[in-house]
Amino acid sequence: MVGTSTELFDFIAAELERFVETEGDDFHLPEGRHRELGFTFSFPVHQTSISSGTLVKWTKGFCINGTVGEDVVAELSSAMERQGLDMKVTALVNDTVGTLAGGIYADNDVVAAVILGTGTNAAYVEHVDAIPKWKGPLPRSGNMVINMEWGNFKSDKLPRSDYDIALDFESLNPGEQMYEKMISGMYLGEVVRRILLRLAHDASLFGDVVPSKLEKLFVLRTPDMSAMHHDTSHDLKHLGAKLKDILGVADTSLEARYITLHVCDKVAERGARLAAAGIYGIVKKLGRDRAPTDGSPKQRTVVAIDGGLYEHYKKFSSRVEATVAELLGEAAASSVVVKMANDGSGIGAALLAASHSQYNVVE
């Protein structure tokens, strides 16, 4: 996540070569064909064609020198050439767009895709007459995919706390990705750490001495927060073991463990409810937030979600779903489905690469 552009893309190309080496002997490309690739790149890009785009900025804690303003497909292509890989990028795809494509391929009622993982973003299908920015020829379908880059949403309506303000100030991209810093896997554990640190200083949560490891930025990762939050033992022994492993606190009181559990619960709940508000916003923008009143049949609306946070943090994902239903109301919620699209961005990128293959022939 930190280094030079060459180091990053050489790493990707090396991993790609390792993957190709695992393929069986029965996989062979026809003579004269290059292997084609869908490249999921989940950062803000100014995309100039289906297979090229320049990086606008890094997000999710990445700090790679020499890539902003460069064509990321050209960077990967050069790295693959250095690695000796005979491949061509056919489609450059944002992860939300890939999830949307994969979702619609499996279910025609999918209208939006959301990423809830290390970072967060969303994409949805919009009518072109609702896009004042669009200046080019109109697509024949009358629709266009909107990559929202909603992680960068900022508003005085967002309930930012002192912990959020301090986290943002000390981050690699202060003043940016405000929404992402409140709801995504990169940051939830860090918010918990900051609250626990305040409690350790002001209320001696972990005894008279503040654990030195608790002062370290991002020492508490969201998967660890999730593991503590899901502890159902009567004495929270698993949570206590995590505090020992991560913070070096050998003995924690039952009260300290329950307070830690409560902090995890509240941070996860806030993040989940804010994420659900974003999903509800898309559904409302599309006019799918109300049940029909004229007796016509309900229109099924599906939102596909991909990302490790949503997939593995069950108390988080269940609250996302419950809050979407709460915001919609009982009548409308019965026709709106929020569902997991496992590896949707990868599958979608492959589908889009295949649909734009240079070898496609209509017979």
Closest CA to 87 of 139, 51, 118: 51
Mean pLDDT of 317-323: 97
At residue 250 the predicted structure's pLDDT band, cuts being 50, 70 and 90, is confident
The number of folded domains in the chain is: 2
100 Cβ contact list (under 8 Å, min separation 6): 110, 112, 113, 123, 124, 125, 145, 304, 344, 348
Please give the share of the chain, as a percent, with pLDDT higher than 70.
99
For position 363, what pLDDT does the model report?
Answer: 44
pTM of the model: 0.89
In a domain, 348, yes or no: no
- CATH number of the domain where residue 17 is located: 3.30.420.40
CA-CA distance, 309 to 185, in Å (whole number)? 6
- CATH number of the domain where residue 200 is located: 3.40.367.20
In a domain, 355, yes or no: no
At residue 31 the predicted structure's pLDDT band, cuts being 50, 70 and 90, is confident
Question: With 50 as the cut, is the pLDDT of residue 362 above it?
Answer: no
In a domain, 320, yes or no: yes
101 and 241, same domain (yes or no): yes
Q: Which domain holds residue 26?
A: 2-93
In a domain, 347, yes or no: no
233 and 300, same domain (yes or no): yes
Backbone phi, then psi, for 195, in 5-degree steps? -70, -45
11 and 142, same domain (yes or no): no
275 and 317, same domain (yes or no): yes
CA-CA distance, 186 to 105, in Å (whole number)? 29
67 Cβ contact list (under 8 Å, min separation 6): 5, 8, 55, 58, 75
For position 342, what pLDDT does the model report?
Answer: 81
265 and 186, same domain (yes or no): yes
Pick the last residue of a domain from 49, 75, 93: 93
Pick the last residue of a domain from 93, 127, 160: 93
Pair 243, 252: CB distance under 8 Å: yes
How confident is the model over 289-300, as pLDDT tens digits? 988 777 777 889
Mean pLDDT of 20-41: 83
89 and 100, same domain (yes or no): no
108 and 196, same domain (yes or no): yes
14 and 34, same domain (yes or no): yes
Which DSSP helix (H) or strand (E) runs through 353?
A: helix 344-355
At residue 330 the predicted structure's pLDDT band, cuts being 50, 70 and 90, is very high
Number of separate helices (H) and strands (E) present in the chain: 13, 11
How confident is the model over 230-246, as pLDDT tens digits? 999 999 999 999 999 99
Comparing 52-61, 156-165, 216-225, 258-267, the range with the smallest average pLDDT is 52-61
For position 137, what pLDDT does the model report?
Answer: 83
**Winning range, highest mean pLDDT, from 56-70, 249-263, 335-349:** 249-263
In a domain, 356, yes or no: no
209 and 317, same domain (yes or no): yes
81 and 152, same domain (yes or no): no
Closest CA to 89 of 73, 108, 105: 73
DSSP 8-state code for residue 51: T
> What one-letter code names the amino acid at 285?
K
In a domain, 350, yes or no: no
At residue 361 the predicted structure's pLDDT band, cuts being 50, 70 and 90, is low
How confident is the model over 128-152, as pLDDT tens digits? 989 988 888 888 899 999 999 999 9
In a domain, 137, yes or no: yes
244 and 302, same domain (yes or no): yes
How confident is the model over 165-202, as pLDDT tens digits? 999 999 988 999 999 999 999 999 999 999 999 999 99
In a domain, 44, yes or no: yes
Which DSSP helix (H) or strand (E) runs through 340?
A: strand 336-340
204 and 228, same domain (yes or no): yes
